[in-house]
């Protein structure tokens, strides 16, 4: 159904001071990453504070992205809710709004079994025609999609890939082995993009791609063009930015980084606070070390 690959950053969602979606700022973010050469954009993921958005806000952000991108790259939409019924409803709305694919993280707060997860995704896939990327992020949801469950789901026609943010390379290698070359495997942990490509992965959905899209695209393209040495070098260059995520509560560092880059996206939604002055100065130093355009 698709050939998704490359670097697909999960975009931050800009909000105005009154908490409403800032559509103009979202368009700026999209232009910034598309100009950086990314192979897709991901709306309303964890990085996009989807947990703080209503269904209507998610669809509004998606419609803005579809309009701004104008078919240049695929637009992925995060459509996960806790229950199967809610997720089906939001996924249908994303399909109607023009998404090219959806990405659905495992249910959170509850802890379903592997058979329940299989039934959950099978029901969603049967309700739409859109390509679906599974999304495994056990550190955030407390639920892990096991490789054998993923292999079962990969047999469903419109379940075409997975974003795995576990950071577990052993699991990644096993998923890639079990699911085969027609199933797209994307890592969601920025520190292992190069190892993922080396293991046969399709690309990455890296949060740091909001700030340094060109660097990460170069990392990917270098590997694809037969220069793994340069790819590894760029992976190592990216490391301080990913490590800087610890300067604040996720995703405050990403929003502050874009603000410092001159791509104004405002603040995260409370209870997440903006960075302290000390943390902001440390982040500014990291950004300068990446040889990006001048920061504020």
pLDDT tens-digit readout, 189-212: 999 999 999 999 999 999 999 999
In this structure, what DSSP letter does residue 166 have? S
Catalytic hit among 51, 108, 118, 135: 135
Task: Please indicate whether residue 135 is annotated as part of the active site.
Answer: yes
Residue of 16, 121, 122, 163 marked active site? 163
Give the per-residue pLDDT at 170. Answer: 92
Nearest Cα neighbor of 238 from 189, 274, 200, 281 is 189
Contact 11, 17 (CB under 8 A): no
Residues of the chain with pLDDT under 50: none
Where would I find the beta strands (DSSP E) of 55-111? 75-78, 101-105
Rounded to whole angstroms, what are the CA distances from 14 to 50, 208, 252? 11, 16, 11
Q: Which contiguous run of DSSP H or E holds residue 120?
A: helix 114-127
In sequence order, what are the beta bridge partners of 21? 15
What's the CA angle centered on 111, arms 105 and 117, to 5 degrees? 55
- For the question of residue 163 being annotated catalytic, the response is yes
pTM of the entire predicted model: 0.95
Given this model, what pLDDT does residue 287 score?
94
Q: Give the per-residue pLDDT at 294.
A: 55
DSSP secondary structure letters along 213-257 = HHHHHHHHHHHHTT-HHHHHHHHHHHHHHHHGGGGSSTTHHHHHH
């Amino acid at each position: 159904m698709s050939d998704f690959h490359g670097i697909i950053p999960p975009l931050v969602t800009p909000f105005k001071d009154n908490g409403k979606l800032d559509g103009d700022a979202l368009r700026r973010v999209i232009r910034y990453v598309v100009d950086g050469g990314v192979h897709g954009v991901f709306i309303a993921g964890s990085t996009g504070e989807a947990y703080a958005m209503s269904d209507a806000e998610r669809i509004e952000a998606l419609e803005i992205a579809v309009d701004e991108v104008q078919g240049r790259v695929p637009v992925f939409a995060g459509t996960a809710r806790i229950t199967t019924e809610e997720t089906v409803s939001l996924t249908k709305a994303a399909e109607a709004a023009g998404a090219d694919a959806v990405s659905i993280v495992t249910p959170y707060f509850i802890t379903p079994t592997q058979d329940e997860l299989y039934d959950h995704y099978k029901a969603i896939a049967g309700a739409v025609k859109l390509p679906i990327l599974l999304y495994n992020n056990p550190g955030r949801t407390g639920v892990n999609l096991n490789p054998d469950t993923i292999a079962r789901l990969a047999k469903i026609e419109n379940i075409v890939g997975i974003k795995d943010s576990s950071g577990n390379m052993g699991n990644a290698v096993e998923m890639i082995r079990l699911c085969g070359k027609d199933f797209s495997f994307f890592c969601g942990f920025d520190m292992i993009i190069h190892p993922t490509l080396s293991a046969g992965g399709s690309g990455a959905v890296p949060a740091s791609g909001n700030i340094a899209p060109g660097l990460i695209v170069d990392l990917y393209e270098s590997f694809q063009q037969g220069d793994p040495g340069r790819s590894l070098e760029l992976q190592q260059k990216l490391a301080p930015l990913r490590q800087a995520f610890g300067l604040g509560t996720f995703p405050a560092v990403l929003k502050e980084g874009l603000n410092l880059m001159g791509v104004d996206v405002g603040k995260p939604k409370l209870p997440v606070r903006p960075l302290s002055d000390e943390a902001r100065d440390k982040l500014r130093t990291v950004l300068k070390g990446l040889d990006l355009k001048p920061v504020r």
